[in-house]
């Protein structure tokens, strides 16, 4: 091999070496880029982890907390470093240990669990209601690696539910003790609630009324003469008299007071005024009979007031 050939061979070796070096550098750059991307991804995850409004726990398969966010520490009233390394059982109320153990076994068996509610403990021993979502995280080979749990303190929600329950119970008590019939209707006129008194008045069961509309119990003639005043009820209380139809078809006079509530609910108070109407009719009839006798009497008649002044007289007297 002459010098020219040697020089060419050396040059080719150098080129191959340079190419290999370029490949190595590109590979290192790609690896570094991947590392940087993973670092950014981890930083983003850690940011979300720490900023979450829910408590997040990373738990070993033997139920030791190896990581958690600040919210978890605050929820249990402990420093973050004291949370790390604590057994999960530390935060489970005594009467729930067996249930927690059963859940752990189900997770290890590969079962996916829906969110559930459980009482948990704070560091000072006090308890609070929590909504728990826990799942098994698997490694690349499909083997169980660790547990991840997201927990929400639902004390406020439970209190709101209890307040609502008490409010509804109080509302129901008022409804049932009312001497008037009470109906609640939606914006389409369908009844959504009814008290016992209105059921008694109309002869329908509550379930039957909840399939009916306002127009179903109003006498057709009254409804034709005066349609339901929806616009007026949206701006204030409407008071009117209507004949209502019972289940057996009979009619009775009712005084109806209606107004729109929040949520497009119409509140209707119904009072049976049949007796009052009959009394008023009897009074009118009595007054008419008296007027007839008074006017047709052949002798003069007068009606005087408390101070003996004449307030009325018949024709015979005037003649």
Question: What backbone phi and psi angles, to 5 degrees, belong to 77?
Answer: 70, 35
As its CATH architecture, domain 176-272 has 2-Layer Sandwich (3.30)
pLDDT of residue 223: 84
Query: Looking at residues 135-149, what average pLDDT do you find?
Result: 90
pLDDT of residue 228: 79
Fold equal for 49-153 and 176-272: yes
Angle CA 90–95–99, to nearest 5: 85
44: confidence class by pLDDT, cuts 50, 70, 90: low
- Each domain of the chain, given as residue ranges in start order, spans 49-153, 176-272, 277-318
Both tokens of residue 147? 């547990």
pLDDT tens digits, one per residue of 69-97: 999 999 999 999 999 999 999 999 999 99
pLDDT of residue 16: 62
49-153: CATH class: alpha beta
Cα-based torsion angle of the residue sequence 305, 306, 307, 312 in order, rounded to the nearest 10 degrees: 0
Please list, in sequence order, all residues whose beta carbon lies within 8 angstroms of the beta carbon of residue 121, skipping any fewer than 6 positions away: 76, 90, 91, 92, 93, 127
pLDDT tens digits, one per residue of 4-37: 555 555 655 665 665 666 556 565 655 555 545 5
Query: Looking at residues 212-223, what average pLDDT do you find?
Result: 89
pTM: 0.56
pLDDT tens digits, one per residue of 226-268: 887 888 888 888 888 888 999 999 999 999 898 888 878 889 9
Among 149, 66, 67, 69, residue whose Cα is nearest residue 113: 149
Q: Which residues pair with 121 in a beta bridge?
A: 127
Among 60, 163, 72, 156, residue whose Cα is nearest residue 121: 72
């Amino acid at each position: 091999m002459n010098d020219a050939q040697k020089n060419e061979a050396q040059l080719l070796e150098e080129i191959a070496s340079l190419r290999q070096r370029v490949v190595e550098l590109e590979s290192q750059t790609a690896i570094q880029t991947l590392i940087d991307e993973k670092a950014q991804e981890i930083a983003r995850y850690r940011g979300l982890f720490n900023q979450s409004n829910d408590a997040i726990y990373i738990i070993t398969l033997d139920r030791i907390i190896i990581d958690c966010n600040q919210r978890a520490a605050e929820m249990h009233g402990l420093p973050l470093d004291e949370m790390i390394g604590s057994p999960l059982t530390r935060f489970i109320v005594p009467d729930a240990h067996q249930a927690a153990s059963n859940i752990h076994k189900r997770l290890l068996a590969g079962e996916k669990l829906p969110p559930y509610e459980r009482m948990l403990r704070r560091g000072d021993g006090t308890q609070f209601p929590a909504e728990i979502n826990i799942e098994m995280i698997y490694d690349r080979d499909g083997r169980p690696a660790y547990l991840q749990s997201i927990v929400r303190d639902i004390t406020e929600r439970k209190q709101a539910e209890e307040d609502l329950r008490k409010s509804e119970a109080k509302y129901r008590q008022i409804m049932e003790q009312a001497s008037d019939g009470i109906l609640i209707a939606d914006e389409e006129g369908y009844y959504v609630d009814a008290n016992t008194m209105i059921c008694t008045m109309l002869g329908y069961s509550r379930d039957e009324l909840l399939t009916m509309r306002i127009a179903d119990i109003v006498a057709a003639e009254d409804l034709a003469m005066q349609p339901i005043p929806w616009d007026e009820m949206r701006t204030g209380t409407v008071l009117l008299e209507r004949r209502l139809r019972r289940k057996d078809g009979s009619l009775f006079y009712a005084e109806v007071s209606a107004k729109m509530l929040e949520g497009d609910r119409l509140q209707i108070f119904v009072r049976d005024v049949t007796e009052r109407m009959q009394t008023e009719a009897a009074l009118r009839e009595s007054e008419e009979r008296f007027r007839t006798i008074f006017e047709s009497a052949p002798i003069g008649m007068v009606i005087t007031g408390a101070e003996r002044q004449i307030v009325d007289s018949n024709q015979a007297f005037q003649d």
